[in-house]
Amino acid sequence: MMRSVMKRLDDMAAMDADTAARQGREALFRDMPRLETPRLTLRAPKMEDAQDMYAYSRDPEVARYVLWDAHRGLWDTRAYLRAVIRRNRQGGPGTFAIAEKASGRMIGTIGFMWIDADHRSAEVGYSLARDCWNRGYATEALRETLRFAFEQLGLNRVEGQCDVRNPASGRVMAHAGMRYEGRLRERIFLKGEYADVRLYALLHRDWLALTGSE
């Protein structure tokens, strides 16, 4: 009887800890922190970003391998921003605006597609203006997002996926320290066809080794 009571108490304590962790994550997304890298600021998106976002989100090349279609007009961008802002305010999963420090321009987004609280895992996704490709910005933003995921959200695993026809995105994840875990056949239905994806992931212990924090 005593063993059964103690097990129930342990289970309740674990549930309370999990609930507190989930509520903490949701609070972070409702009041998103401002993250800084040498060249970038990751911050909460705002409606004033609409013009900057439309400038790159209307580009078919930017939209080619992401789940959303190229924006047809500023109204599409405003609707997208409203949805992102609403989801952040509801506790996420959160999305950051990526802003270039030198110009102040919003040049992309990075954030979480989903978060599994039970297993402390998540998927990260990002998009960036085409004139900012090949400058290391995506890797810089991803590294900071991974730091946030492990150090502030308390996650154990962060994964990302990219269309096999988009090797540049895979290189971004690899440069940020994520490890290639395999090819998933016809994992997504993208722009009218099934597409294979490459899966990358990073564990908390990998992050500690990368940053010398072990």
pLDDT score recorded for residue 77: 98
pLDDT score recorded for residue 24: 77
pLDDT score recorded for residue 134: 96
134 φψ region: left (φ > 0), alpha (ψ -120 to 50), beta (else): left
102 within 8 A of 120, measured Cβ to Cβ: no
Helices (H) and strands (E) in the chain, counts: 7, 8
Which two structure tokens, joined as six digits, stand for 24?
Answer: 């903490």
pLDDT score recorded for residue 21: 74
**53-54-55-57 Cα dihedral, nearest 10 degrees:** 80
pLDDT score recorded for residue 17: 67
Specify the DSSP element, H or E, that contains 149.
Answer: helix 137-151
50 within 8 A of 71, measured Cβ to Cβ: no
pLDDT score recorded for residue 121: 97
Q: Residue type for 136, please?
A: G
Q: What residue ranges in 19-148 does DSSP mark as E strands?
A: 35-36, 40-43, 95-100, 106-116, 121-128
pLDDT score recorded for residue 25: 82
Q: Concatenated DSSP letters for 157-205? A: EEEEEEETT-HHHHHHHHHTTPEEEEEEEEEEEETTEEEEEEEEEEEHH
pLDDT score recorded for residue 8: 61
- Length, in residues, of the chain: 214
Mean pLDDT in runs of 10 for the chain (214 residues)?
58 63 82 95 97 98 95 97 95 94 97 95 98 97 98 96 97 98 96 96 96 76
**197-97-61-160 Cα dihedral, nearest 10 degrees:** -10
Instruction: Give the number of other CB atoms < 10 A from CB of residue 129.
Output: 20
